[in-house]
Amino acid sequence: MAFNSIPILDLSLARDANTKPSFLESLRSALLEVGFLYVKNTGIDDELIEHVTGQGKAFFDLPEDKKLEVQMKNAASFLGYNKLGNEITALKTDWREQIDLSTPHPLPTASDPLYYNLLSPNQWPDPDHLPMFRPTFESYMSQMSTLSTTFTSLIAEALGLSPTAFSRFFDPDQQHKLKIVKYPDLSCLPADQRSQQGVGPHKDSMLTSYLLQASHHHGLQAQNLSGDWIDCPPISGTLVVAIGQGLEALTHGVCASTTHRVLSPAAGQGPRFSIPFFQGVSYDATFETVDIPDEIMEMRAEIWRKRGVDRMDDVEFTFTKGRWGHLGDATLTNRVKSHPDVGERWYPDILAKIREEERKVREEKERGREAVTEHVHEKKGMDATGPLAAMKEVTV
pLDDT one-digit tens code per residue, 186-216: 999 887 776 788 999 999 988 999 999 999 9
CB 25 within 8 A of CB 56: no
- Three-class DSSP category at 226: coil
Q: Higher confidence at residue 386 or residue 248? A: 248
Would you say the C-alpha torsion 97, 45, 153, 120 has a positive or negative sign? positive
pLDDT tens, 270-295?
A: 999 999 999 999 999 887 889 999 99
Comparing 288 with 358, the larger pLDDT belongs to: 358
Give yes or no for residue 394 having a pLDDT over 70.
no
C-beta of residue 75 within 8 angstroms of C-beta of residue 102: no
* Interstrand relation of 197-202 and 8-10 (parallel, antiparallel or unpaired): unpaired
R_g over Cα of the chain:
23
Q: Is the pLDDT of residue 22 over 90?
A: yes
Residues forming beta bridges with residue 209, ordered by sequence position: 242, 278
Strands 97-102 and 177-183 come out as antiparallel
Residue 93 confidence (pLDDT) above 60? yes
H or E stretch including 275?
Answer: strand 272-278
Closest by CA to 103, choosing from 171, 154, 160, is 171
What number of other Cβ atoms are within 10 A of residue 1's Cβ?
Answer: 12
Cross-strand bridge partners of residue 229: 223
Residues 6+ apart with CB under 8 A from 84: 95, 96, 97, 184
Q: What is the DSSP string of 318-387?
A: S--TTT-SSHHHHHHHHHHHH-HHHHHHH-HHHHHHHHHHHHHHHHHHHHHHHHHHHHHHHHHHHHHHSH
pLDDT at residue 393 tops 60: no
